Amino acid sequence: MLATLFEPFGYSFFNNGLAVATLAGALCGLLGVFVVLRGMSYIGHGLSHAVFGGAAASAVVGINYFVGAGIWAVVSGVLIGRIARRRIIGADAAIGVVTTASFAIGLALLNRYGQAKKSIEAVLFGSVLGVERADIWAVSIVALLVAVFIVAFYRRLLFATFDPDVAQVTGVRVAWVEAMVMMMLSLTILVTMRVIGTLLISALLVIPAATSRMLTNSFARMLWISPVLGAIAGFVGMNAAYHLDTSASATVILAAAIGFVAVYAATGIRGRVRVAHVHHI
Amino acid sequence: MNSLAIPQALIECHELTCAYDGAVAVDDVSMAVRRGDFVGVVGPSGSGKTTLLKAILGSVQPASGHVHRLQNLKMAYVPQVESVDWNFPVTVLETVVMTRTRNGWWSRMAKEERDQAERVLHRLGLVDVSARHIRELSGGQQQRVFIARALFHRPELLVLDEPTSGVDVRTRHEVLHLLADLHDEGLSIVLTTHDLNGLAAHLPRVVCINRRIVADGSPRDVLTPVVLEQTYGAAMEVLIHGGMPVVLESGADHVARRLSKLTTS
């Protein structure tokens, strides 16, 4: 029994995948706090689709994935900003237009020039087999960068996330803070997408953070509970995927979703008990 | 006249015009806020009250004219309670200290800072609820948390947007007394309000705007039928009660008669 549980650790491809999935869970959990609290889920979803276009284009042209997809993500971000500035369109529609167009370009490019189905599937659903040492490094560096950024600028981030108008007046450079959060988000999607896949990455950004929100009323505590939940989902999901012979990324998301449901059910009962005891002052 | 007798101007608006997508919100406004002022800006919805506040704060850029702020002026802003995200995961204490954005790493608070925060919370009667989530407070406490946050920034000018909208009579009195105390201690205050009788009539200076400034002065001089009709576009009557103007809507009796289907005598 125990031997079966430890069996996958004998394969280096599994260990690499496990490391990246766990780190990716933690990283997405951490940034997911901002995504959830600012109502940016759609941006996360859109950015991953935009990056898909970049990934396809760089594969076709033959340049490094990180460079090609990175530039593509920045260009998409700028385009979204420009289109959203025309007030009659609105940011959500701008994201919808730019990112789905980018996604469509990616699909068309891979159909026309790529090695057909296999590579498309790998990008859409992620691939653990393709994980290299470089991926572990990339995720680790970005995770460290994001963690340092959040610890150093904690109050500015909190203020700008909670109350951007007042933060601006009080001297916080909100536009700068927002740009940094967007950049961190793009970097996170860039380095985790090859493992988790375009279609499922936004779930990893949202589920651990939403789960942690139900567990605490404190922003500071959310910022460590959410990455811990994300990491657990990554670790447990990868192991379960091996034993159940299911897709790694889908199993990671399912693990996170099971956690969400469990917490939802538990806090629902607790919440109802608490409401019964509320006394008004 | 001795110009030294006039207190220092903290904010000066010169022929200020602000517009959104070509629609003018504030038109050719010139006014000054001086040290020690306690000014209420009144006007109907869409009259540019909030835009004027935002121009004073610097978060809205003028289309023409300019706003001059005293150099290094420390301002703090209390937003409308309706604009706050009450589901955001912060406690009362966390909300108050977030304004000192350059202090500390992570959520750590230095001893000195914690003491200062305690003092502000004590002053506003929030010590007992400092660890509570902001949603778990009464209406008056919710309003005071954001005033506490503004005070923790140690401002010279406090700017409030509709501080009494949506609160009950007791809370309105609490807020008014608190602001009066702060003003007595030397804080300069600018606020907007819809509430002519409950708030504006109590202030030393009232500015009526309807995109342009209609009148600027003491409530007795400003809250008159002529000025109010120009500001609100509706006829109003003004009574003097206990030395203070009390504004009444004209034609209210007519509406009541219609609704209760009484016949006119």
Task: Tell how far CA B108 is from the center of its chain.
Answer: 32
Rg (CA), chain A: 20
Q: How confident is the model at residue A178 (pLDDT cuts 50, 70, 90)?
A: confident
Angle CA(B91)–CA(B95)–CA(B96) in degrees, nearest 5?
120
* Residue to test with chain B: of A163, A213, A277, most B Cβ within 10 A: A163
Which of A18-27, A172-181, B14-23, B245-254 bottoms out in mean pLDDT, i.e. has the lowest? Answer: B245-254
Distances (CA, A) of B150 to A155, B108, B146, B156, B158: 15, 20, 6, 11, 7
pLDDT surpassing 70 at residue A278: no
Nearest CA in chain B to A220: B107
Q: Determine contact: A171 vs chain B, CB below 8 A.
A: yes
A104 touches chain B (CB under 8 A): no
Question: Cα separation of B14 and B49, whole Å?
Answer: 16
Residue A77: CA count within 13 A, CB half-sphere: 20
- For the cut 50, the answer to whether the pLDDT of residue A279 exceeds it is no
Burial class (CB in 10 A: 0-12, 13-18, 19+), B23: exposed
* A227-255: average pLDDT: 94
pLDDT at B158: 95
pLDDT at A116: 52
Is B189 strand, coil or helix? strand
Q: Measured between CB atoms, does B214 come within 8 Å of chain A? A: no
CB contact under 8 A, B88 and A162: yes
Q: Say if B133 is an interface residue toward chain A (CB within 8 Å).
A: yes
SS (H, E, C) A115-135: CHHHHHHHHHHCCCCCCCHHH
pLDDT of A213 reads 93
Number of A:B CB contacts under 8 A?
Answer: 78
Please name the residues between 234 and 273 in chain A that touch chain B, using a CB distance below 8 Å. Answer: none
Determine the average pLDDT of the residues in B119-135.
92
Asked whether the beta carbons of residue B85 and residue A168 sit closer than 8 angstroms, the reply is no
How many other β-carbons are positioned within 10 Å of the β-carbon of residue A144? 11
- CA–CA min distance B74, chain A (Å): 8
Mean pLDDT of the B112-119 span: 90
Say what percent of chain B tops pLDDT 70.
96
Sheet strands side by side (includes B157-161): B75-78, B157-161, B188-193, B38-42, B205-210, B212-217
CA-nearest residue of chain B to A168?
B59
Other CB atoms within 10 Å distance of the CB of residue B80: 15
**What's the average model confidence in pLDDT over B214-221?**
92
Listed by number, the residues of chain B in 82-121 with a beta carbon closer than 8 Å to a beta carbon of chain A are 83-85, 88-91, 94-95, 97-107
